């Protein structure tokens, strides 16, 4: 993993990776979990996409002994789990793949926006107490024709560091977008062990 990417993610209380389907967001989170969740650091990896990708984790090899896994497919259960997690800083890292997957299909429900805001605020509060939050987000095409994460304005408010994950021809890349005064673009491929950087 590139040193600058590792430094940015480990130094940020909240980090978001957003991009289109199959760009490699899940593989990046798996690689980060393997990298950061060693040497006594406790982590939780929450999947909201209907599958926890156990096959990818098994192929990624060793390094997940300090990681607990949860597969959540209901928004209310997701919000409840995040509320429980935020009550104590038990985990050094909380990985969420994807932070907005369960929100998108029910975003028009009257009670959902306030609950989504509440969960984001709880996660941010968790990060202020020393825990780190690393999440992926699904995207849509915005009004300007650019890719944006669903609920991006809310995510932009609560996430300190934001990366776009996308394709450039046949290559995949991660590009730092926030904070805007820093620049980073790295290329990677998806391998059995997760994201493999060039």
At 138, which CATH number?
A: 3.40.50.300
The total of structural domains in the chain comes to: 1
Question: What pLDDT is stored for residue 52 in this prediction?
Answer: 60
Please list, in sequence order, all residues whose beta carbon lies within 8 angstroms of the beta carbon of residue 149, skipping any fewer than 6 positions away: 16, 18, 100, 137, 138, 139, 140, 155
Give, in order, the Cα–Cα distances in Å from 175 to each of 9, 163, 165.
13, 5, 7
Any bridge partners for residue 112, and if so which? none
- Indicate the angle between helix axes 112-128 and 75-86, nearest 10 degrees: 30
Each residue's pLDDT expressed in tens, for the chain with a length of 198 residues:
899 999 999 999 999 999 988 899 999 998 898 888 877 788 999 998 876 677 777 776 667 788 888 888 888 888 888 888 877 768 899 999 988 887 776 766 777 788 888 888 888 988 998 999 999 998 876 677 677 667 788 899 999 999 999 999 989 999 999 999 999 999 999 987 789 998
Please list, in sequence order, all residues whose beta carbon lies within 8 angstroms of the beta carbon of residue 108, skipping any fewer than 6 positions away: none
Query: Domain of 57?
Result: 3-197
C-alpha–C-alpha distance, residues 109 and 42, integer Å: 35
pTM of the model: 0.90
């Amino acid at each position: 993993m590139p040193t600058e990417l590792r430094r940015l993610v480990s130094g940020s209380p909240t980090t978001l990776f957003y991009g289109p389907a199959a760009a490699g967001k899940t593989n990046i989170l798996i690689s980060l979990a393997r990298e950061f969740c060693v040497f006594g650091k406790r982590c939780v990896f929450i999947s909201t996409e209907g599958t926890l990708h156990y096959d990818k984790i098994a192929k990624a090899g060793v390094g997940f002994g300090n990681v607990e896994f949860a597969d959540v497919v209901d928004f209310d259960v997701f919000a409840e789990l995040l509320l429980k997690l935020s009550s104590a800083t038990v985990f050094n890292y909380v990985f969420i793949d994807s932070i907005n997957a369960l929100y998108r299909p029910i975003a028009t429900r009257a009670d959902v926006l306030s609950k989504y805001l509440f969960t984001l605020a709880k996660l941010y509060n968790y990060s202020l107490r020393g825990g780190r939050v690393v999440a992926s987000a699904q995207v849509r095409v915005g009004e300007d024709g650019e890719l944006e994460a669903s609920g991006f304005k809310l995510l932009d408010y609560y996430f300190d560091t934001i990366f776009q994950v996308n394709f450039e021809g046949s290559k995949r890349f991660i590009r730092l977008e926030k904070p805007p005064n820093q620049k980073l673009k790295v290329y990677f491929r998806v391998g059995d062990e997760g994201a493999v950087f060039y």
